[in-house]
Amino acid sequence: GGGGGNAVNNMINAGLQGVDFVVANTDAQALAMSKAERVIQLGAAVTEGLGAGALPEVGQAAAEECIDEIIDHLADSHMVFITAGMGGGTGTGAAPVVARAAREKGILTVGVVTKPFQFEGARRMKTAEAGIEELQKSVDTLIVIPNQNLFRIANDKTTFADAFAMADQVLYSGVASITDLMIKEGLINLDFADVRSVMHEMGRAMMGTGEASGEGRALAAAEAAIANPLLDDTSMRGARGLLISITGGRDMTLFEVDEAANRIREEV
């Protein structure tokens, strides 16, 4: 859909490595603006290249019409991130269809979706919540970013475009930290099997990243990762699984790693 397509453009602009991008939309005009090499025109027969008119049932029918093409694009994937702005027609209706197709192929499937701003109205919020509930049935792990939480980090100078870029940064950081775990060499290496065992059939999740330098940097970075203001108010308390990735220069000490990891474990 539109929100998912914008998020992918922002990730491509940021130079995210180690992933293939596929953008799917009912709206031919939006697809023409996509920077992704692979695009899928959803439901040409259903919508004739127009959007889904904020009707999830149209988005769903459009995705079902193209299910074979979607499955072709998913072939040989180990892990799929599905991103969409919930509340409209295409993302809300199509995301669960894509997720179901991926799960049926045994692919580890993670949903990262946004909920609308309150000013978009109760109807759109209701649509989003129903879509999230539907999506949750078909993904291994689901991360929800309420756009309303952008007010926590915005000020009166923040442009509308900048606000959405902030939400997309959460998605970028999450995808990048997981792909980095598998692609980059580390002192304690994690592979895809580790990622799968933590994220397989886990339900709601949260993610956060933090970066710091100078005095007390390990603790400061850990605190920032825990306190991600954009995420749905999901707590780490009682978490059944936790993936921690700590990256530093050659001067990173054993004590710093211990301090950062223990600070995060305290939250569970």
The total number of structural domains in the chain stands at: 1
Among 85, 88, 63, CA closest to 73: 63
What pLDDT is stored for residue 92 in this prediction? 96
Please give the model's pTM, rounded to 2 decimal places: 0.88
Give the Cα separation of 74 and 90 in Å (integer): 19
What pLDDT is stored for residue 223 in this prediction? 94
Domain enclosing residue 160, as ranges? 2-180
What pLDDT is stored for residue 208 in this prediction? 85
Domain membership of residue 72 (yes or no) is yes
Domain membership of residue 6 (yes or no) is yes
112's enclosing H/E stretch is strand 108-115
Domain membership of residue 39 (yes or no) is yes
Give the Cα separation of 184 and 181 in Å (integer): 6
Q: Which two tokens stand for residue 234?
A: 């999901």
Domain membership of residue 32 (yes or no) is yes
Give the Cα separation of 100 and 137 in Å (integer): 8
pLDDT tens digits, one per residue of 145-197 = 999 998 988 899 999 888 888 888 878 887 888 888 777 777 777 788 888 88
Q: Which two tokens stand for residue 235?
A: 């707590």
Those residues whose C-beta lies under 8 Å from the C-beta of residue 185, and which sit 6 or more positions away, are none
Domain membership of residue 231 (yes or no) is no
The CATH number of whichever domain residue 13 belongs to comes to: 3.40.50.1440
Domain membership of residue 206 (yes or no) is no
Backbone φ, ψ for residue 206 (5° rounding)? -135, 160
What pLDDT is stored for residue 126 in this prediction? 96
Please answer whether residues 200 and 108 qualify as being in contact, where contact means their C-beta atoms are separated by less than 8 angstroms: yes
DSSP 85: E
Domain membership of residue 97 (yes or no) is yes
Domain membership of residue 68 (yes or no) is yes
CA dist list (Å): 228 to 144, 170, 180, 203: 12, 9, 20, 19
